[in-house]
Amino acid sequence: MKTIILAGGLGTRLSEETTIRPKPMVEIGGKPILWHILNIFAHHGHDDFFIALGYKGEVIKEYFLNFYALNNDLTVDLGAGKTTIHDGRQPKWRVNLVDTGVDSMTGGRIRRMKKWIGGETFMATYGDGLADVDVTALIAFHKAHGKLATLTAVHPPARFGGMHMDGDKITEFLEKPQLGDAVVNVGEGWINGGFFILEPQVFDYIDQDSTVFEREPLERLAAAGELMAYRHNGFFQPMDTIRERHLLEGLWSSGKAPWKVWK
């Protein structure tokens, strides 16, 4: 199944890192958080990725253009003008790097992927959040209910918004309310954790580049009874601030990173 990774935002709350690179390229354990996210999906057999680029997208392009050189041992024979990349961990990913506009919002980035996705069911998630989501079970849940969209509902840090649910059906989606710098918790203690499964009809709910996916499209899908929640009670952690980056780095350094489901 094709997977969209939203990787074009400005990452202003992590400006200590994002003045020189996009947030998905901020490193955890010496690897971009984007690398960690791709490994989660690839572990479940999904390795056809579509990276929605925007802010400093050239940094992500450079990383993948030089992926094998950066992630394996090299021999550079200057006399012969030859470089040999030695055997190492070489994931069989197919990575499509798509410019979705510097100013596009999350919905606009997904909308611009329509010609790449075609008429297939697809996955999407954010380029700055880690979880030990069982992607295989998530897909099975989506196929079983037959609705247009599934999001992964997670238990939040209190600064997020939330949603109201009737069983597994989302009846009202509530984007995080802003009160100055504070954000209060709403709903029933569940928030949108990304890791979406979407039918191609969802493209019709996105009007333009400036559309925020978490607002009108998800609100309209919820009102139409077409948005379902896969409840994930395991690990979930976004990386919005330097404190959260340090938290993730500490988990990785401990050797007990919950999201490391691959070997």
Question: Does residue 165 lie within any of the structural domains?
Answer: yes
User: What are the pLDDT digits (tens) for 136-169?
Assistant: 999 999 999 999 999 999 987 545 556 778 888 8
Tens-digit pLDDT profile for residues 42-91: 999 999 999 999 999 999 999 999 998 888 899 999 999 999 988 777 89
Residue 259 lies in a domain: no
Q: Which structural domain range is residue 99 located in? A: 2-253
Q: How far apart are CA 137 and CA 261, in angstroms?
A: 14
Strand partners, 130: 237
pLDDT at 177: 44
Q: Is the pLDDT of residue 103 over 50?
A: yes
Q: What is the pLDDT of residue 13?
A: 79
What are the residues facing 70 on neighbouring strands? none
Is there a domain that residue 187 lies in? yes
Give the pLDDT of residue 159: 52
Give the pLDDT band of residue 12 (cuts 50, 70, 90).
confident
Lowest-confidence region among 134-143, 193-202, 223-232, 242-251: 242-251
For residue 247, being part of any structural domain is answered with yes
Q: How many domains does the chain have?
A: 1
DSSP per-residue codes, 185-236? --TTS-EE---EEE-GGGGGG--STT--TTTHHHHHHHHTT-EEEEEE-S-E
CATH of the domain at 202: 3.90.550.10
